[in-house]
Amino acid sequence: MLFKMKTYEMPVKVSDDGKLELPEDLASFLPHNKTVKVIVLIPEEDEDIEEKEWNRLTASEF
């Protein structure tokens, strides 16, 4: 079974107790008392280091 889905992308803060704090603008679009699908994307900590190293390496090689 296929479902049509809408997507919204925005930065969301994670509170000190681990809860996602959704912007009020988004909350007005969400259905009340229904389950929604959430995908959370978190940058890997080493990603910035690897990118900086790659940039340094390519700059020195070319």
Q: What integer pLDDT is reported at residue 9 of this predicted model?
A: 87
- What pTM did the predictor assign? 0.53
CA 31, 13, 45 angle in degrees (round to 5)? 125
User: Cα(first)–Cα(last) distance of the chain, in Å?
Assistant: 51
Q: Where are the beta strands (DSSP E) in the chain?
A: 13-14, 20-21
pLDDT by residue for the chain (62 residues), tens only, comes to: 788 888 888 888 999 999 999 888 888 888 889 988 889 888 777 656 667 776 776 776 55
